[in-house]
Structure 1
Amino acid sequence: MRYLLGLAIIWVGLFASCEDTKKASEETTSIASKKEKDSVISKTENDSVLLKTDSVAISQKSSKNPQTEITNENAVSFFTDYGNNNPETSATIQTQHGEIEIALFKDTPLHRANFIYLVKQGYFNGTYFHRVVKNFIIQGGNSDNVATVRKRNKIGKTYLLPAEIIPGRNHTYGTLSGAKEYRENPDNRTMPYEFFIFLGPQTSSAHLNESYTIFGKVVRGMEVVEKIANLPADEGDWPLQNVYIKGIILR
């Protein structure tokens, strides 16, 4: 009898032990499953965040306005707005012969804004002082590179700037003016991509005064302008050695 009772007690103990083990195993499995579930949720949430971030980035990229093509119809409004938001009035032209610092005039706002815009678009980088005339002018903003034509086509290949000629403001040593097309241009509109610095005596300025917009003046580096003006050139006034505009710094 005692033997049977002992067996019964052992059997109950083993059963209880198996139940505890089963319960512990189920709890462990449940915890592991919950952790795995949490891990999946966390990963899904993270992926969702990443997708949102990517979506925003893509959305921002796709909503970015393309560069406005400037035309004769929108040039005035475009450069009026651009000039209001870009107040720089100083530019330093970097060449292999030295630097030329120019003050840009506020009372020729369209020309000032156009010049600043072209600088910030990187237009002048790699162009030349392509015309040099001793004791008269040096002219910059053009080149024989295909890249220059491409830049003009992208920015606006046909627009001209309205003249901003200030009465009584004449060409003097170091003045900066916009170049001009002669054909069908009775209003003295300016070619936007080219400019010239005047060196000549007053007797050489009669045909320039009141015909070309003066929108700045050299305040430092006229010795560099003189050096460039005296470089050997061909019959078309193109320097025999290219004079690169390496870059222009605005302030």
Structure 2
Amino acid sequence: MKLNRLLLLSLLCFGISQVSSAQLFKKRRDYLLTISTPWGDMHGILYNSTPLHKKNFLKLVNKKFYDGLLFHRVINTFMIQGGDPQSKGAAQGTMLGEGDVGYRVPAEILPNIFHKKGVIAAARDNNPEKASSGCQFYVVQGKVWDDKTLAEQMKRSPLRTYTPEQQQVYKTIGGTPHLDGNYTVFGQVLDNLWVIDSVATQKRDSNNRPLKDIAMKISCKKIKKKKITAQYGYTDWL
């Protein structure tokens, strides 16, 4: 009887160990995005600390929702925006930006995640909850700020309090600090930030739509985090 109990205990411990190992292995992997443009590919990750946005974006990517859509709004030294389903095949000159998927994603605005160059953030309308569009997003280009201009920008942000590290990023890498606290940032580009510059500097009409269509394609693949770190130097895993 005692032997049977020991055997049962061993089996239970083995089962728990197996579950824990499986969970640990799952945590060691994450999704790597590939955002393709006419100028080349950018690779990126989505933050685990914004799970609603991550889940929604991956759902759309896996459905190939974004393939063939346009970067329909580009503003140099600010950002590039896309994800309007009405942009696919839209005639030149058509005003875009009103297309959506019929739902919003609740805001996930966090003080430690800010609008540095290369982050992926959710577009939205003026709803008071700051809930995000179900599909439209933007990638920050921004610009580099000095002490004086950064202080002026930070006054425009509801975030108000910035760490010295965040301020240093804005003064070296750049970004759009006045957007902090207003929109959900849920991921970031890890390489080829110059692609953002290439898109943002294109000639555009009065509605900031590029005169020449800029189509995108987005895919994702789940790979080991240590491989992402080795290839792109990313270690934050927010």
Q: Which structure is higher in RCO with an 8 Å CA cutoff and minimum separation 6? A: 2
**Is residue 2:78 matched to residue 1:136?**
yes
**Is residue 2:236 matched to residue 1:244?**
no
Match of 1:145 in 2: 88
- How far residue 167 of structure 1 moved from its aligned partner, in angstroms, is 1.8
- How far residue 146 of structure 1 moved from its aligned partner, in angstroms, is 6.9
Match of 2:172 in 1: none
Identity of aligned residues (%): 32
- Between stretches 201-210 and 162-171, larger displacement belongs to 201-210
SS in structure 2 opposite 1:100?
Answer: strand
Alignment partner of 1:165 out of 99, 104, 109: 109
- Mapped partners of 2:216, 2:135: distance in 1: 13
Alignment partner of 2:186 out of 198, 209, 215: 215
The count of corresponding residues between Structure 1 and Structure 2 is 156
SS in structure 1 opposite 2:123?
Answer: strand
- Mapped partners of 2:89, 2:118: distance in 1: 30
Cα distance per residue 1:168-213 (max 9 Å; x no partner): 322111111000111xx11110001111111113546344111101
Contact 1:140/1:194 (CA < 8 Å) preserved in 2?
yes
Alignment partner of 2:124 out of 161, 171, 180: 180
TM value normalised by structure 2: 0.61
Cα distance per residue 1:23-53 (max 9 Å; x no partner): xxxxxxxxxxxxxxxxxxxxxxxxxxxxxxx
Contact 2:62/2:220 (CA < 8 Å) preserved in 1?
no
- Mapped partners of 2:89, 2:205: distance in 1: 21
Contact 2:47/2:186 (CA < 8 Å) preserved in 1?
yes
- How far residue 249 of structure 1 moved from its aligned partner, in angstroms, is 3.3
- Mapped partners of 2:102, 2:54: distance in 1: 19
Match of 1:101 in 2: 43
TM value normalised by structure 1: 0.58
The residue identity in structure 2 corresponding to 1:106 is N
The residue identity in structure 1 corresponding to 2:131 is R
SS in structure 2 opposite 1:180?
Answer: coil
Contact 1:96/1:246 (CA < 8 Å) preserved in 2?
no
Alignment of 1:1-251 (within 5 A): 88-142=30-84, 143-145=86-88, 157-182=101-126, 185-201=127-143, 203=150, 205-251=176-222
Contact 1:133/1:230 (CA < 8 Å) preserved in 2?
yes
Greater helix content: 1
- Mapped partners of 1:225, 1:199: distance in 2: 6
Match of 2:95 in 1: none
The residue identity in structure 2 corresponding to 1:145 is K
The residue identity in structure 2 corresponding to 1:116 is L
- How far residue 220 of structure 1 moved from its aligned partner, in angstroms, is 0.7
Cα distance per residue 1:149-177 (max 9 Å; x no partner): xxxxxxx8321000011123221111110
* Structure index of larger Rg: 1
SS in structure 2 opposite 1:157?
Answer: coil
- How far residue 89 of structure 1 moved from its aligned partner, in angstroms, is 2.9
Match of 1:38 in 2: none
The residue identity in structure 1 corresponding to 2:101 is K
Q: How well do the aligned residues superpose, as a CA RMSD in angstroms?
A: 2.1
